[in-house]
Amino acid sequence: MNNIKKLFIILILVVSVVGMIGCGEKGTAEKAGEQLDKTMEDAAKKANDLLGK
pLDDT in tens, 11-53: 888 888 877 776 666 778 888 888 989 998 888 888 888 887 6
Q: Which one is predicted more confidently, 24 or 10?
A: 10
Q: Per-residue confidence at 4, pLDDT binned at 50, 70, 90?
A: confident
Structural element, H or E, at residue 16: helix 2-22
DSSP state letter for 23: T
For 37, which DSSP code? H
pLDDT number for residue 1? 63
pLDDT at 21: 72
d(C-alpha 45, C-alpha 51), whole Å? 10
Q: What is the pLDDT of residue 24?
A: 66
